[in-house]
Amino acid sequence: MDLELKGKRAVVTGGSRGIGLAVADRLAAEGSSVALVARDRVALDKAAEQVARHGTAVFVRPTDTRDDGDVRAMVEDVVAALGGVDILVNAAAEPAAGAVPPLAELTDDALRVEIETKVLGYLRCARAVAPHMTAAGWGRIVNVSGLAARLTGSIVGSIRNVAVVAMTKNLADELGRSGITVTAVHPGMTVTERVSEFHAGMAERAGVTAEEITARFAASTSIGRLITAEEVADVVTFLASPRSVAISGDAIPVGGGSRGTIHY
């Protein structure tokens, strides 16, 4: 299937590593020009070398999505460099992997940081690109949320991801008549460099191997293994394409299936 992405111009936040980088790479492979956005210039430059192998334009713009002025300036720079923006993939957020504090130890700032980065950061980027997409009469916004929106176990993780889904639906209804669809994906525990480091740390503390830790998480999926960042990127790339017009306002799980739960 031709995803009709050749010549499209995409902004991928969190594009220096993990799921964001995998998405940027897939979009470039399909013929899209890509703006890689993250805070770390060194990591961005390294990512750009990987993405550029597909032969499409790659623009690097260090940006802090917690700063609205920086976000707006970034979008203007992307438009100047690439000629416009058709696709936004919001993936700039701290990874969910890590120790989950009990209520008594949970600080206000733990949630504030997540809302500022993942929720408001996504909103700032969508707000900045929407006028350009509206003027063109077409656009795709894909928000990387997470399965914590559907699971207990992390108060902060659930709140931030549910908020992303609520934002997604509101934006979809507001922007849809302008030719813009807005969707979200819910990765579960995904194979990335950071998750591998997390599993290694857990294994050391538990006195087991990292493979055993990974197997425990894999057992909670319907397919019996963890999904890779590239497999998440396959779904995101479809949602970013013209072929996905039938889907808007919805959140799609991309974690290999959650055993024992039914969503309808």
CATH number at residue 84: 3.40.50.720
For residues 210 and 169, membership in a common domain is answered with no
Residue 124 sits in the same domain as residue 241: yes
Tokens of 112: 């504030």
Residue range 181-205: average pLDDT?
A: 84
Residue 261, in any domain of the structure: no
Q: How many domains does the chain have?
A: 2
Is the per-residue pLDDT at 174 higher than 80?
Answer: yes
Helical residues (DSSP H) of the chain, grouped into ranges: 18-29, 41-51, 68-82, 108-114, 120-136, 155-175, 193-206, 210-218, 229-239
- pLDDT band, very low/low/confident/very high, at 199 (cuts 50, 70, 90): confident
88 part of a folded domain: yes
* Whether residue 129 is found in the same domain as residue 71: yes
List, in order, residues 6 or more apart from 166 with CB less than 8 Å away.
none
Q: Are residue 210 and residue 91 in the same domain, yes or no? A: no
For residues 135 and 50, membership in a common domain is answered with: yes
Whether residues 212 and 156 share a domain: the answer is no
Please tell me whether residues 210 and 131 are part of one structural domain: no
pLDDT-derived band at 94 (thresholds 50, 70, 90) equals confident
**Statement to judge: residues 134 and 210 lie in one domain:** no
For the segment 184-208, the average pLDDT, to the nearest whole number, is 82
In a domain, 169, yes or no: yes
What would the mean pLDDT of 90-116 be, rounded to a whole number? 87
Dihedral of CA atoms 44, 48, 49, 54 in degrees, nearest 10, equals 160
Residue 47 lies in a domain: yes
Whether 201 shows a pLDDT value over 60: the answer reads yes
Residues 57, 135 share a domain:
yes
Query: Span 195-201, mean pLDDT?
Result: 76
Tell me the pLDDT band of 96, cut-offs 50, 70 and 90. Answer: low
Residue 196 has pLDDT above 90, yes or no: no
The verdict on residue 69 lying in a domain is yes
Q: CB burial class (10 A; 0-12, 13-18, 19+) of residue 229?
A: buried
Averaged pLDDT for residues 31-51: 97
Supply the pLDDT for residue 98.
Answer: 62
Residues 81 and 150 in one domain: yes
- Least Cα distance to 182 among 142, 230, 237 occurs for 142
Does residue 89 share a domain with residue 34?
yes
What's the pLDDT at 100?
79
Task: Based on the fold, state whether residues 73 and 178 are members of the same structural domain.
Answer: yes
Domain extent, residue 40, equals: 9-189+228-252
